[in-house]
Amino acid sequence: MDDCIFCKIAQKEIKSDIIYEDENIIAFDDISPQAPVHVVIITKKHVKSVDFLREEDKAMAAEIVLSFGKIARIKKIEKEGYRIVSNHLESAGQSVFHLHFHLLGGRKMNWPPG
Ligand code: 5GP
Ligand code: ZN
């Protein structure tokens, strides 16, 4: 999609530090990390947010969920723990309107989140 920064990252028109990639997903270090480990996992397909996933996206959605553990192992934080976050719309904190999940770790996480 034109003017979508994450589509441009997926198409490698904008450089990112890629941690993991497969047919449907690309994961890269967040430009403004909120924890020692902060990876953004996006779909290559433009979907606006998690709320816009549909039945036809089932296989891709399963792949995303399975990628979390793979990325945690690449970052070596699977034993200490990590958090997955996906923000839907501005009130939840979404600032890029292309489906993505945050994988955060390397420090103690607070609950409830702000
Ligand atoms: P959101 O606020 O939508 O939940 O998450 C968007 C995330 O993307 C933010 O954590 C932000 O720092 C990150 N981000 C925005 N633009 C870029 C970019 O060009 N490169 C990288 N690596 N991360 C980005
Ligand atoms: Zn996009």
**Sequential DSSP letters for 5-22:** HHHHHHTTSS---EEEE-
- Alpha helix ranges (H) inside the chain: 5-10, 58-74
Residue 48 pLDDT greater than 90, yes or no: yes
CA of 81 to the centre of ligand 2 (A): 29
pLDDT of residue 85: 98
User: Model's pTM, two decimal places?
Assistant: 0.98
pLDDT above 70 covers what percent of the chain?
Answer: 100
pLDDT of residue 2: 85
Phi, psi of 102 (to 5 degrees): -95, 135
Residue 1 pLDDT greater than 90, yes or no: no
**What would the mean pLDDT of 64-86 be, rounded to a whole number?**
98
Nearest Cα residue to 43 out of 7, 80, 83, 89: 7
CA torsion through residues 49, 110, 76, 34, sign: positive
Residue of 38, 46, 88, 100 marked catalytic? 100
Quick check: 30 and 106 in contact, CB under 8 A?
Answer: no
Active site residue 100: yes
